[in-house]
Amino acid sequence: MTLRTKIIAGTIAAMSGWTSTAIAATEIQFWHAFTGRLGDLVAEQVDTFNKSQSDYKVVASHKGNYSETLNAGIAAFRANEQPNILMVFEVGTATMMAAKGAIKPVHELMTEVGATFDPSAYIGSVKGYYTSTDGKMLSLPFNSSTPVLWVNNDALKAAGVDPSTDMSTWEQVDAVLDKVKASGSKCPLTTAWQSWIHLENMSAYHDVPFATKDNGFAGLDTELALNGPVQVKHIQTMGDWAKEGKFMYAGRRNEGGANFRAGECALFTESSAGYAGIKAEAKFDFSVRPLPVWKGVDGAPQNTIIGGASLWVMQGHDAEEYKATAAFLNFLSSSNIQAKWHQDTGYLPITIAAGEKTKADGFYDKNPGTDIAVIQMTAKEPTANSKGLRLGSFDQIRGIIDEELEAVWSGDKTAQAALDSAAERGNKLLRRFEQANR
């Protein structure tokens, strides 16, 4: 044997040794949209799973923000290189659902690989968003939150308002805002995610439709109904507040969070998942309240709906990989993992058992207010108006709503005119989506 053949033989031996260990564990790809603390927590979950068994290996990759991750998944599918699991934000749900040849519904996956799967273990108002009209779970809820009212207690005290004052209706909030404004505050109220909180959730919470056909669950021929009297009243009031300096608009996403965490704003409507950030940064005494309702609306408060993302299983992989995928999804739904996720992030638990475990751990007693989101979501059985939203081109429709709301905040349009225009423009996109997916 010459030196050269020895080297080649050695290399081949080394390579085959390396590949044989790699073949032993089935590897699956998981694309997500989390960075920072949330990214670390996801990495920890994946690591725990990989160490808990030796048959499967999950490789998690960050692919940008929600929109970018969805785009990466779509582009990869077109190139036939899609991951096994793709994280998609709730807004992309209708897009994924309509792509029947690209996704494998979770219930189908579980039956196919013969994994144990009990849909009734999941919290109704969480899984409802990702369930077909005949009750089949299509994707696995991952991170879900719901909007609540964050209160800067110190700011209220400075304005001579008792921080424990009742703020369960918008009428009561109005009175508080007056006092805070009178004390010289530049930002009595601000918000994050205006469409999600003040139109989508606002509608569900007052049991009025956001769109026809059960908010789009019952068919692609849905039309926006967000210009009803309850929504118009709410948006007009907020527009008036903006004019009077009682509501400060900070931007389309969660820009207002910076103002609230810096102590500049007294009240802040934001996701329950804002908890981690507020707890870490706020140098004032804060509390969390349920989202307020308008007095005299029948059925209010109903329940709020979720925001966040779910995990979609993609088509085009082999049976072994689907087994691995099912095992990982079941692992994520297990009580310990879910309870930890819920307590670390402020996102809602996805299973009933995880919620009960958190209670038993005494977490809610130690962190008052952290259960408000759970109660607000689960107090009532969801109705057709409060199960969630399933609208095509929803990301663009939210963009349209943002534009129209800005016209109200700046005083260019009345709430009625802005919401009528939003409905008309949004409906055009819904018709296009229907055309593309018929």
Give the interface with another protein as residue ranges (CB under 8 A).
67, 70-71, 74, 77-78, 95, 98-102, 249-252, 255, 258-259, 262, 264, 393, 395-396, 399, 402-404, 406-407, 409-410, 412, 425, 428-429, 432, 435-438
86 or 372: CB nearest another protein: 86
CB of 134 vs another protein, minimal distance in Å: 23
Distance, CA of 409 to chain centre = 25
CB of 322 vs another protein, minimal distance in Å: 19
- Lookup result for tokens 């925001």: 307
205 or 249: CB nearest another protein: 249
41 or 401: CB nearest another protein: 401
CB of 241 vs another protein, minimal distance in Å: 14
Helix (H, G, I), strand (E, B) or coil at 62: strand
CB of 252 vs another protein, minimal distance in Å: 7
CB of 96 vs another protein, minimal distance in Å: 9
CB of 237 vs another protein, minimal distance in Å: 18
CB of 312 vs another protein, minimal distance in Å: 12
Task: Return the bridge partners of 187, or none.
Answer: 265
Q: Is 297 left (phi over 0), alpha (psi -120 to 50) or beta?
A: beta
Please state, in angstroms and rounded to a whole number, the distance separating the CA atoms of residues 350 and 110: 17
Distance, CA of 148 to chain centre = 13
**CA distance from start to end of the chain:** 67
Helix (H, G, I), strand (E, B) or coil at 88: strand
100 or 136: CB nearest another protein: 100
73 or 307: CB nearest another protein: 73
Please state, in angstroms and rounded to a whole number, the distance separating the CA atoms of residues 236 and 326: 48
CB of 67 vs another protein, minimal distance in Å: 5
145 or 393: CB nearest another protein: 393
> How many CA atoms within 13 Å lie on the side-chain side of 80?
0
Q: How far is CA 138 from CA 184, 325, 395, 397, in A?
A: 50, 14, 20, 23
115 or 258: CB nearest another protein: 258
Distance, CA of 328 to chain centre = 21
- For residue 182, what is the enclosing H or E element? helix 170-182
Helix (H, G, I), strand (E, B) or coil at 379: coil
Task: Return the bridge partners of 87, or none.
Answer: 311
CB of 425 vs another protein, minimal distance in Å: 7
50 or 437: CB nearest another protein: 437
Q: Buried b vs exposed e over 317-339: b needs ≥16 C-beta within 10 Å? A: beeebbbbbbbbbebbbebebbb
Please state, in angstroms and rounded to a whole number, the distance separating the CA atoms of residues 341 and 331: 13
95 or 333: CB nearest another protein: 95
